[in-house]
Amino acid sequence: MAAHSSTSSIPRIVIIGGGAGGLGLATQLGHKLGRRQRAEIILVDKNRTHIWKPLLHEVATGSLDADLDGVVYSAHAVKHGYHFQLGTFEQLDSAAKQVTLAAITDAKGKVLLPQRQLSYDKLVIAIGSVSNDFGTPGVKDHCFFLDSHEQANRFHDHLLDSFTRVHQAHEQPIQQDDGQQQQLNIAIVGAGATGVELSAELYHVTEMLKVYGLSKMTADKLSIDLIEAGPRILPALPERISASARRELSKLGVNVRENTRIAEATSQGFVTDKGELIAANLMLWAAGVKAPDFIANLGGFELNRNNQIVVKPSLQSSVDDNIFVIGDCCACTQADGKLVPPRAQSAHQMAECVEQNLIKLLDGQPLQDYQYVDYGSLVNLSRFSTVGSLMGNLTKSSMFVEGKIARFMYISLYRMHQKSIHGGLKTFGLWLTEKMMRVVRPRMKLH
């Protein structure tokens, strides 16, 4: 199919990926360039809706309904001065300044839209990251992942089936030699923020089930193994946060297994490198992140071992100044030699830097270098607790927070994300709507 070319003389900026960084960037460029006809802004994503990735564990447990709380790209684009195209990034021709989007098919495989090319003047790659299974046998066949809201919804469906199985097994006892029908065993590999927050959220929703008719599926029927290969959970965060989170998880009943490496995943559970079987009905892999594998097939980019694209300080790719890279797929080295960590705050900051640099390019001004600022980290253990550190490297030492203050700060992060893509007035309206909806809809998604 012929390349989709711009119908005017204004430059075209194409953003691939509508995550925290990509959607925020498209929104701000739409306001500052799109509405003023200084540039055509196109956002491409393989999904129709956006969910803030740090909340995917709540989608997985049913605490958050992606169908109600998601941002519909096409509707959002109309209001914010950019265009949206549904599509999956497949190929790149940097010489011709074209990206190829894969054909779109329906559930039966019928082609709805053929493969197509999209031309650009400036390209921003913001395709995020996926879980890294490190080639562990059986993981792809037996484990769930939480890299997208589709995967979170898939886990949620199986979780509801498991809740129902245990509840009905207790209402109408089935003769079982091993008693597996009357217990729900969940094993989670990776004790970063996702694994830790999911463990706590699972206990929270289990306690709510009695309100919705599944009174036999109680917390004492739930067994969670949280598995970490390293010496402590939350390895990327300060040790005090890790220790506090571990105490809270232990109180809930989570079996925290540190210094435990997984050699294989089977239909019965995880097998450690020492041969121990950690039995599980549901298995989730949340260990490590990497950029999607297809990036290596694009060719031309300088990549690190995690498939991330190496960039200059301006966040332009190291091999093509017309291509910027932001978020988890970006390998940006800080002054101390360390890579910028794959966090939502990093993606937001990168988006702000690229926004300014694209405008500077249009105005013929020199570009600015990106400087990562660590504002701290927060881990939300559902309604049980929130722990974290604030200020990060803005002070000589970080400030440890927990409890209500930490919970307030955690919620504020999401509100700041909403404000960046909706504006202050609509964010307040969304908050008000959420409060009212709690009265008329269940506190968890049950379908």
Q: What is the DSSP letter of 63?
A: S
Single out the residue in 264, 288, 312 at which a domain terminates. Answer: 288
User: Within this chain, do residues 144 and 189 fall inside the same structural domain, yes or no?
Assistant: yes
How far out from the chain centre does Cα 21 lie? 11
| pTM tops 0.85, yes or no | yes
223 Cβ contact list (under 8 Å, min separation 6) = 183, 184, 185, 186, 253, 255
- pLDDT tens by residue, 219-260: 888 999 999 999 999 888 888 889 888 999 999 999 999 999
User: Within this chain, do residues 335 and 422 fall inside the same structural domain, yes or no?
Assistant: no
Split into its structural domains, the chain has a count of 3
Token pair recorded at residue 82: 């950019």
User: Within this chain, do residues 116 and 200 fall inside the same structural domain, yes or no?
Assistant: no
User: Within this chain, do residues 312 and 270 fall inside the same structural domain, yes or no?
Assistant: no
The answer to the question of residue 371 being in a domain is no
Single out the residue in 253, 288, 323 at which a domain terminates. Answer: 288
Single out the residue in 363, 390, 407 at which a domain terminates. Answer: 363
pLDDT value at residue 136:
95
pLDDT value at residue 395:
45
User: Within this chain, do residues 156 and 206 fall inside the same structural domain, yes or no?
Assistant: yes
The answer to the question of residue 225 being in a domain is yes
User: Within this chain, do residues 149 and 251 fall inside the same structural domain, yes or no?
Assistant: yes
SS3 401: strand
User: Within this chain, do residues 121 and 237 fall inside the same structural domain, yes or no?
Assistant: no
The answer to whether the beta carbons of residues 269 and 187 sit under 8 Å apart is: yes
Smallest Cα–Cα separation from 347: which of 337, 357, 359, 355? Answer: 355
**pLDDT tens across the length of the chain (447 residues):** 444 555 458 999 999 999 989 999 999 999 999 999 999 999 999 999 988 888 888 888 887 776 667 889 999 999 999 999 999 999 999 999 999 999 999 888 899 889 999 999 999 999 999 999 999 999 999 999 999 888 999 999 999 998 888 888 877 765 554 556 678 999 999 999 899 999 999 988 888 877 767 777 888 889 999 999 999 998 888 888 898 889 999 999 999 999 999 999 999 999 999 999 999 999 999 998 889 988 988 888 999 999 999 999 999 999 999 999 999 999 999 988 889 988 888 999 999 999 999 999 999 999 999 999 887 776 777 666 666 555 544 444 565 555 666 666 667 777 777 787 878 887 777 767 766 666 666 565 665
Residue 180 to residue 169: CA distance in whole angstroms? 10
User: Within this chain, do residues 207 and 266 fall inside the same structural domain, yes or no?
Assistant: yes
The answer to whether the beta carbons of residues 122 and 11 sit under 8 Å apart is: yes
The answer to the question of residue 370 being in a domain is no
User: Within this chain, do residues 434 and 348 fall inside the same structural domain, yes or no?
Assistant: no
pLDDT value at residue 421:
81
Token pair recorded at residue 235: 């390895």
**Cα radius of gyration rounded to whole Å, the chain:** 23
127, burial (CB in 10 Å: exposed 0-12, middle 13-18, buried 19+): buried
Q: Which domain holds residue 357?
A: 3-129+291-363
User: Within this chain, do residues 224 and 251 fall inside the same structural domain, yes or no?
Assistant: yes
The answer to the question of residue 230 being in a domain is yes
CA neighbours closer than 13 Å in the CB half-sphere of residue 385: 16
The answer to the question of residue 369 being in a domain is no
The answer to the question of residue 185 being in a domain is yes
- Beta pairing partners, 356: none
Which CATH number fits the domain that encloses residue 176?
3.50.50.60
User: Within this chain, do residues 401 and 359 fall inside the same structural domain, yes or no?
Assistant: no
The answer to the question of residue 322 being in a domain is yes
pLDDT value at residue 394:
41
Amino acid identity, position 153 = N
The answer to the question of residue 426 being in a domain is yes
User: Within this chain, do residues 326 and 307 fall inside the same structural domain, yes or no?
Assistant: yes
